[in-house]
Structure 1
Amino acid sequence: MTAPTHAGRYRIEQLIGVGGFASVHLAHDEELRSSVAVKILADNWSRQAGVRERFLQEARLLRRADSHLLVQVFDVGELDDGRPYFVMTYADRGTLGERLTGPPLPVGEALALMGEICQAVAVLHSIGVVHRDLKPSNVLFCSRPQGGERVMVADLGIARSTDHLSGLTMPAGSPGYQAPEQLYFDGAPDARADVHGLGALTYRLLTGTVPAKPELRVPPSALRPEVPEAVDVAVMAALAPDRRSRYPDAAAYAAALASPTPLLPATPDAERPEEADEREQPGHQPPGDRPPDDGTPNGGASDGGTSGDGAPGDSAPGDRASSDRASGDDVWAGKRRRNVLVGGVAVLTAVLAAATTVGVTLAQRPGGTPSPGATATPSPTGADTGRWLRPGSDVPDRYRALIVEAGTYCSLPGLSPALIAAMLKAESGFDAALSDPANDEFGIARWTPRVLWHWQPGGLQSPMPTPPFDPRLSIQSMGRFMCRLGPRVADVPGDPAMNLAALFRSGVDPVKRAGGVPPKWRGYTAKVARYMRDYEPS
């Protein structure tokens, strides 16, 4: 069909874009003497009532939002041939897609731009609208009369009000940016789909590439080392394959991007994914997770005398899966994901803000830097650890300061240096050279390399640790693990210290399902409790 010369009072000057359903034209408002963009529904779709209504719905949503952060709608009408059109802001400085043909933007500039894009999407979320197709070509730039430019989010052609999202929602979105749930007819994407799109946009701005598949994905800093740790955490959480592990909306994601310290999504327990591979699977138990022959958590296996007292059944456990320690963190590590590690997860150093409701205060961060608003606990020396660990006990002097540092990493019910010491005794008998290749566990705390990778200072930004593990690394990481996951079992009945010991062995969900220490680990926690009594100050 021949391009129109006018749309109402607007003189059509040139075609500037064509999509699957509509074309966009540069036009001139002859009354107000200004340039505008006119979006016209394609002729072959204008006769379909459903498509026509959807086209007009985009104009209504934009008008309802009425924000300078979004393309604004000024008028609607029909051409002489019956095709509907609407008039909107003209983006005279092009699209973000056009600007991404060169090298990535400076990190500060990229984050500032993402802040504005997030604000725009937050406007939509505040009125209950999900964009569903965030990508570089839908981010526009417009000159400001006073100089400079403003950012606008455009193209709400497949946007939906959350009031109308349901299992009948059609698949939508663009490859590389769409959330996994958008691939399915019944995905019913909500604001968290937009968070995924924002995460993918951030990744593209920082690295110059779209995110890879989850199993191959690395954090932005792996491709661009100057990316801050907190940004790594925010981006990788936004890109989580399971939407329940993402930030709830654009405003929450923007806050995480702007935070100087890592800020993870505060996912309600009821919303957390129930991982199928986290449950005991009849007939499919990994060799390291077979039930013990004698009913004890250790299966009565000998550890070569490293348990400290040589008592039968008192050995360090050899029957847990190599990734059990990550199991409590559904978002970041996942229990027993032996072959598929959700790649690119950044260091988990921050205790969620919600954790303060259960009495958690971060006291130390890696490198001894106090977290904002927290009181730093000075790192003790071997000579002044007596206030936390009983002098004369068998805790090696060379590890005492490290144990105190891990046990006082945060203020958490049940966490103490005596607990850390007792767990190390139960795990390895303080044997820093412990090597258990069959279970892929090494060192004084029996870490698995891939699990320790998450909890080490620097997280996945640092290389994956390889055995033998330095005792400092192993012990420090125990404190980080406890302070990140401990708050999630703080409301579980029973002895808080024993729940934390069980957490280290089994993860958050098993402890919560059991309402305390799971039966499988009661022999282990009994041993830890006995050692604790030996190590607590008189």
Structure 2
Amino acid sequence: MERPHTPPPLDIPAGYRIADWTVQGLIGSGSWGSVHAAERIADGAPAAVKLLRTDLLTPGQRASLEELTRQEVRFSEEADHPNLVRTHAVVTLRDPDRPDLDGVTALVMDRAERSLQDLIAAGPPGTPLPDAGRLLAGVAAGLAHMHAHGWVHADLKPANILLGGDAVWLADFGLTVELEGTHAYIPPIGSLDHVPPEWWSERTGVRGTTVRQTADIWAFGVVAHQVLTGGLHPFPGGTARARALAAQAYANGSAPLRLDDSLEMEWRKLIGECLAPDHASRAALDAAELSRRVRALHAGPPRRRPVRRPAVLFAGCAVLAGAVTALALVLPPSGRDGAAGEPKAPASSAAVAGAVPADSDVPVALRQTITDAAKRCTEEEVTPALLAAMLKAESGFDAKASRPATDEHGIAMWTPAVFRAWAVDGDGDGRKDHMSPPDAIATMAVFTCWLDQRFKQSGLRENLPALIAAGYRTSDKAVIETGGVPQQVQPHVDEVLANLRAYTR
């Protein structure tokens, strides 16, 4: 699924002339080549030059990339829309004195100030981007134009959406392909965070992997969620591969889709339709209708949801209002008891499924953190009580616990390398630290949620809390291969289950 190995950028000196433009410096490089800042000789107008190279690839890679280059050049020459980056010239370099440049294809394009990915990275997580509606309206309009003319972008993601002044441009047409009837074919490469679930089950033949316009609709749903939540992905996981697995679990009906609870209802509904679990369901929303609805949402008066509460969308099902209400958590204004000055448990915690009992030995200061972490997962087994039971067995709730022999540390006994692969910022301070209880516990919730989904996908559905505890202490592979709890961790699992019984009496 990853793109070919990225070759080093071409060494082009400042002032190097390409047709009517001179190169000024490198902007960035990727699998298809490199992009350089340039300016027009006649008037100094800024431009970007994308150099497409194949000289460092294997013969098999070269054939695929040359075909993609031809497709990108063809689309770039035909594209004509305010929300598609313009290509001013397509030039084949002829420079016998520079064999590395001789024969390279150069696309001279509009130069952007930054990408949507840059804008997301610069803002605080969880906060909608400034002028989010306008940005998404531009993306949807460009997508509608492409689809109307029979093209699939096939690589829509924030890094491929460019911004310049008031302009919003779709860019990077390296995977863009023209439909052959209802679908087209591209190499099995792309962004794990933005490909639809069916991508993983499509067979790759001699012509490549099947792609449809509904893949762009799915990608738009992910991008819209990121734009409206400051970069948050709609599927849980600390890595792109983990998030892709969560998306597949949702698509096959073994996990729900849980959109961020800050989304306004109209946006939530539209994103949910974009993220319909299969191609056929997603086909009901074409890009023209998507663009119309995004424009209407952008033009309409802003609406704020009066209560923030988790909403759960199940594949093929409606929102379960009763479950949403049951999960609603009302916090006291200060979070502390004014008289004693000690942390106070939420008044309505009894309404949360699997809530930790008020008279348990779980430290009061951790209860809200554990409850909030459990809300990151909609699998019924992953409850505050289960997380508390696991934390007690792992560390006895000691934030400074450590097992140096196995490199496990902190309240959730994370190995730093494993933590980095799943890390979640649990306290919103912008850092992800395995020794921080909020970060460690939030990451535990995300990982246990993934374990729950993995075991269900594998047909293991008996005593899932025990399997989750075993998988956390060993691995999902060890549990699946054993078909249950591996013998070496049975005493630990028994301890977790005893704690869980005490917390669910």
Q: Which has the larger radius of gyration?
A: 1
TM (normalized to structure 2)? 0.48
